[in-house]
A and B are shown apart, each in its own frame.
Chain A
Amino acid sequence: MSTSPTIPNAAASPQPSPTPNGSGVIARDQRRVSRLLLLILSRYGTLIGLALMVILFTVRAPEAFFNITNFVNILSQSSLTAIIAAGLTMTLVVGEFDLSIGYAASFAGLLVVGFIALNGLPVAAAVLLMLMIGAAVGTANGVLVTKVRINAVIATLGVGTILTGLGFAYSAFPIAAGIPQSFDNISLGRPLLGIPNPIIIMVLVLAILWFILNKTDLGQKMQAVGGNIEAARLSGIRVDRVKIFAFGAAGVCAALTGILLSALLGSGTLAAADGYLLDAFAAVFLGSATLRDGEFHIVGTLVGVLIISVGFNGLSIFGAPSWAQDVFNGAILIVAVGLSTLSRRYAKAG
């Protein structure tokens, strides 16, 4: 038998201090309630926020806010952001980033007008060519990130900056002369039930991307790559190709947004669409905190875009000074990423 007795070691086996029965139950109930509140906030917080904004604006400015014309107006304003943000969503789904989209949109808006006004290309050909260039830019981003293994933030920021420079080289001044009405009509036309074209294009783009993400092999693979890249690779998924596709899609969407913006403005202007980058990021992160636990998805992105547009609409209806828009923009980005992080943490802890 052992000669040295075992000395009980307090540090070795900490006994949980017994809690009185009643307070323990209350504490557990409180925890359950706060968990439930957290769940509601992380999944439905954005939708509740959107609803509250609509109610507030309706009560405070019923005539200016709550009418069909204003709603169409909001959707119209949303559509360009929604398209570029949906493209961004694709890159975030595969776990990457694209900071070039705003610059790529500006570049596309300038170039497409140049193709038509300076090079005399037919409108359809110019648009098609520009979309292809957008795809090429996105693919370049994807190759840099996957094959050359440059961090996505750096690679896409670099590509975006190069595009800005190339745009400047192409035309330092806005191109406004020699643009046919048929180009402007891409954004200004209302061929279907009086609905503005951008809204129809937005619905189409979102539907296609939603379908790809949720109903095709490729979409499942994208979600797998974003969920656990090593597991995806070891399932036989060609991870690099999937990522390059996502970047390509983001490039096309960025180009499309740029084209629509130039058609809306009736001119091609340097850096016109740069600001869409922040809006898109805010929308996408708001979207990831919508309905799903921190996952990026198309429907969520649309909700995110609507929150931003309704917010801006309200600000302008109430005549808020222009600095308030920047404050709103920055705040919404922070709130969006915060909510998204909260959702993801909740999903992990759950």
Chain B
Amino acid sequence: MSERSGAWLQVRGLSKHFGGANALSAVDVDIHRGEVHGLVGANGAGKSTFIKCLACITTPDEGTVSLDGEPLALGNPHTPEDAGFAFIHQELNLVPHFDAIQNILLGVPKPRKAGFTQWRQARAMAIAAAERIGVDFPLNRRVDELTVAQRWLVMIGKALVRNASLVVMDEPTASLSAVESDALFRIIRDLSRSGVAILYVSHRLDEVLDLSDRITVFRDGRVTKRADRGELDKAGLIQAIVGRAVPSSARSVRAEIDRTTPLFEARNVRRLPMVKDVSFTLFPGEVLGLGGLVGAGRTETARLAFHADKLESGSFLLEGTELKARGVADAVKAGIALIPEERRSEGLILEKSVQFNMSLAALEHLRALAGLPFLSAAKQKTRTLEMIRALSIKTTGPSQAVGRLSGGNQQKALIARWLIPGIKVVFFDEPSRGVDIGARQEIHQAIRDLAERGIGTIVISSDVEELAMLCDRVVVLREGEVSGEAVGDEITEQAIIQLSYAPVHEAEGGTR
């Protein structure tokens, strides 16, 4: 599988393990001077780890990266700068209240004379870099007044003023319009022609196929495909991303769901930029999966349903009537719960006890006398112990700080928080992220138990296998819109991934 040698940038045998999992195993990648190199793969395929290794944010366990035959010192934070690598992430690390020129020049060694910075010369450098990419906005404008597309140009200008020879772009078009994207593609092609290599990381396969001179596909931390321009079409690319369909032996037996009266509905829900138009229906006792790529708007949709963010338009219906909640507290009162993906920062109060964390949403039910706001210590403790037993949470007891539990047990403690009377719909955002296999099964069991009690559950997961195992039905989002749906045996990894990548209009009706 090795490539012919002689490439400008050669990555050989790059491996990285996190805990027991291989994020990267013996990856070889060649990048030629001045080429546009597409890098694709599903969530968790190892793309980000690969980029982090190049950026020396992560130190690989094994492997080398060499430039013109010279091995680079990986793990040294100065290496990327010295080698001429520039990284443009989606977050665009710019200083908001600096103007474009200041941002372009930030951290660049500036010409000096007798100890004084030659600002005029430095500005000329920045202006030259900006002209190279055809910047058409005033460079003295503050960055926070620029559009996202213009900020991208500033970031590229930053790379050019440092004489970067490789620019890594992570999902550059994720928040650009079609016209802006086209402009960016022109710039990318110009850069490539002038000898700057581009590593183009994107989920948008059409773009990758269109732009790239060569494409590398990652799956499960390995390179599964290398292709020159024209060798692959979109179907072939998807095939390489998905690989063989995993046998779905682990699938649970699905209960027959009565799909006559909806429990919860989203109708044309919208909050830009992430959620454009999402509609779905959830039935009582159903486990509904919300699939799609990272950035497809799944978490944002759940937060809208939970009223943690405000809707721009559209509505949610609970048991047939419109949900008029002014905030999370009202949504909870109506019977909606959300277990967030970021459980340590958005779910738990780490220094506080297991009991404290579990009781937080149940306080009204733990009063000594109904109606009076006095808590019963005994009721709190009894409930906590019951939950610890029911969810087999591994803890030294109700008074242990929740931050000391393992990821899986923290997740179970959060589930316990919401096992309260009156809850009708529970959103799980990446319920088994950072959780070991055993705990994952127990969490899945807890979700199914909820469903059996008639509660509607919505599971957001980037782990396609998890969706296929757990869900009765999966709705797939792509770029803030529903791209399709799969029910029962239609739920395969292949189907979900295809929907995740499919343009919205093509998929509508096509897969059902």
- List chain B residues, Cβ under 8 A from A13: 59, 61-62
Q: Do residues A234 and B375 form an inter-chain contact, with CB atoms below 8 A?
A: no
- List chain A residues, Cβ under 8 A from B75: 11-12
Q: Which of A140-148, A182-190, A235-243, A258-266 contacts B (4 or more CB under 8 A)?
A: A235-243
Please pick, from B62, B74, B329, B350, the residue contacting A237 in the complex, using a CB distance under 8 A.
B329
Q: With both chains docked as a complex, state the minimum distance between the C-beta of B499 and any C-beta of chain A, in angstroms.
A: 29
Q: Is B281 an interface residue (CB 8 A)?
A: no
- List chain B residues, Cβ under 8 A from A231: 345-349
Q: Do residues A236 and B373 form an inter-chain contact, with CB atoms below 8 A?
A: no
Q: With both chains docked as a complex, state the minimum distance between the C-beta of A45 and any C-beta of chain B, in angstroms.
A: 19
Q: Is A181 an interface residue (CB 8 A)?
A: no
**A228 with B349: in contact, given A3-B2, A216-B374 (CB under 8 Å)?**
yes
Q: Is A230 an interface residue (CB 8 A)?
A: yes
Q: Which of B211-219, B356-364, B383-391 contacts A (4 or more CB under 8 A)?
A: B356-364
**A230 with B345: in contact, given A9-B63, A13-B61 (CB under 8 Å)?**
yes
Q: With both chains docked as a complex, state the minimum distance between the C-beta of A149 and any C-beta of chain B, in angstroms.
A: 15
Q: Do residues B417 and A234 form an inter-chain contact, with CB atoms below 8 A?
A: no
B:53-96 near A, CB below 8 Å: 59-64, 71, 73-76
Q: Do residues A236 and B331 form an inter-chain contact, with CB atoms below 8 A?
A: yes
Q: Is A345 an interface residue (CB 8 A)?
A: no
Q: Is A2 an interface residue (CB 8 A)?
A: yes
- List chain B residues, Cβ under 8 A from A6: 12-13, 62-64
Please pick, from B327, B338, B373, the residue contacting A217 in the complex, using a CB distance under 8 A.
B373
Q: Is B316 an interface residue (CB 8 A)?
A: no
**A224 with B349: in contact, given A13-B62, A236-B329, A236-B361 (CB under 8 Å)?**
yes
Q: With both chains docked as a complex, state the minimum distance between the C-beta of A152 and any C-beta of chain B, in angstroms.
A: 20
Q: Is A227 an interface residue (CB 8 A)?
A: yes
**A11 with B5: in contact, given A220-B375, A234-B308, A347-B351 (CB under 8 Å)?**
no
Q: Do residues A2 and B306 form an inter-chain contact, with CB atoms below 8 A?
A: no
Q: With both chains docked as a complex, state the minimum distance between the C-beta of A202 and any C-beta of chain B, in angstroms.
A: 23
Q: Do residues B76 and A223 form an inter-chain contact, with CB atoms below 8 A?
A: no
- List chain A residues, Cβ under 8 A from B349: 223-224, 227-228, 231-232
Q: Tally B residues with Cβ within 8 Å of A.
A: 47
* Interface range on chain A (Cβ under 8 Å from partner): 20 to 34
Q: Do residues B364 and A217 form an inter-chain contact, with CB atoms below 8 A?
A: yes
Chain B residue nearest in CB terms to A218:
B373
Q: Is A221 an interface residue (CB 8 A)?
A: yes
Q: Do residues B373 and A295 form an inter-chain contact, with CB atoms below 8 A?
A: no
- List chain A residues, Cβ under 8 A from B348: 228, 231
A65 to B63, CA, bound (A): 73
Please pick, from A4, A215, A224, the residue contacting B374 in the complex, using a CB distance under 8 A.
A215
- List chain A residues, Cβ under 8 A from B59: 11-13
- List chain B residues, Cβ under 8 A from A228: 345-346, 348-350
Q: Do residues B74 and A4 form an inter-chain contact, with CB atoms below 8 A?
A: no
Q: Which residues of B contact A (CB under 8 A)?
A: 2, 5, 10, 12-13, 28, 59-64, 71, 73-76, 306, 308, 327-329, 331-333, 338, 340, 345-352, 356, 359-361, 363-364, 367, 373-375, 377, 417
- 7 A-B residue pairs with Cβ-Cβ distance under 8 Å, sorted by A, are A6-B64, A217-B375, A220-B356, A227-B351, A227-B352, A230-B345, A233-B308
Closest 9 CB pairs of A and B: A236-B332, A227-B349, A6-B13, A217-B363, A228-B349, A235-B360, A2-B2, A238-B329, A217-B373
Q: Which residues of A contact B (CB under 8 A)?
A: 1-4, 6-7, 9, 11-13, 215-218, 220-221, 223-224, 227-228, 230-238, 293, 295, 347
